[in-house]
A and B are shown apart, each in its own frame.
Chain A
Amino acid sequence: MPRIVVDVMPKPEILDPQGKAIAGALPRIGLTGFAGVRQGKRFELTVDGDVTDEVLEQARHAAVTLLSNPVIEDVTRVEVLEEDAQ
């Protein structure tokens, strides 16, 4: 069944304490090439049937009403997964 992927990231101006903690842990495993880390979320919505425009619109609606909080987060991607389309 096809899947729609939704990516959500903390807004650039919002401090991301989790990302900061991860950035602090990278050097501990010897990885020093990274200047920063931001942690977001990825959702996969499995579609029962074809991905119509209406279904895609529903996914966009879900992304901005439930999956993200516009005060602190941006929806950076709402897309049908290519691997499912093939």
Chain B
Amino acid sequence: MSASSIETPLIGGPQPLASGNEDSSLNGVRVGVVTFPGTLDDRDAARAVRFAGGSAVQLWHGDHDLQGVDAVIIPGGFSYGDYLRAGAISRFAPLMEQITAAASGGADALPVLGICNGFQVLTEAHLLPGSMIKNDSLHFICRDQRLRVENAGTFWTSEYAQGEELVIPLKNQDGQFVADNRTLDELEGEGRVVFRYVDGNPNGSRRDIAGISNAAGNVVGLMPHPEHAVEAGFGPDSSARGAVDVRGGTDGLGIFTSVLKKLVG
């Protein structure tokens, strides 16, 4: 069985989805979702892409072929068991070489999103600056987290308004973003802080940073999980947009519609 034939059955039944994005032009956008040994959220990420109206393509870390995808998501989990450092071994996977080269390609560089462990992989691969160390509390944190969109100009945030807030799940142990002050000043000065924690810093991250981008804005990494907040009934119990039903939060969907619409437009 080839890796690309792995199915991601939808909990609510077969496509078409009942309440996702109905713009059929987005359907042609192919977003690759990478699976490493120990990846956990690949199916959720693939599902979020489909829910936003795009097509998800499964990518296996050991392959050398990006299968012509239009964008890539490196999902959360514990790739290689977090051995050595989170993301350290994944960085040298054959597929990562392809991703690193394609993501650094100037004007038409490949859009890449790293979520949680995916963010850690992107820092280890030097596609994003800084690194993640253990939460300052030393506890594994799992909760719904409020964020503010600090840069709505990236490939992955264009569907949000500048300064818009969202509530999505945060779940990790090595979530404390660190970088030296010069790097932090550079990130702030160039508008590359994409998401900031609101209502308290959960893990000691420098300057409340929850997510950042590269200089071109095509590579974005964040610690919280937008893919777990895309479908009413399976999301957080709250939303930054007002009261929602139990598990009714869908604030993360805009991340996925952003990249689809950017690529179509």
Contacts and interface: CB of A to CB of B under 8 A. Distances in A.
A14 B133 CA distance: 9
A61 B178 CA distance: 24
A69 B131 contact: yes
B258 interface: no
B178 A14 contact: yes
B84 A67 contact: yes
B interface majority secondary structure: loop
A72 B133 contact: yes
A26 interface: no
B136 A17 contact: yes
From A10, A13, A15, A72, name the one whose CB has the most chain B CB atoms within 10 angstroms.
Answer: A72
B138 A18 contact: yes
B252 to A, nearest CB: 28
Given A15-B136, A17-B135, A21-B138, A71 B130 contact: yes
Interface string B205-238: 0000000000000000000000000000000000
Interface string B86-106: 001100100000000000000
Given A17-B138, A18-B138, A71 B131 contact: yes
A66 interface: yes
Interface in A40-86: 66-67, 69, 71-72
B108 to A, nearest CB: 29
A72 B84 CA distance: 13
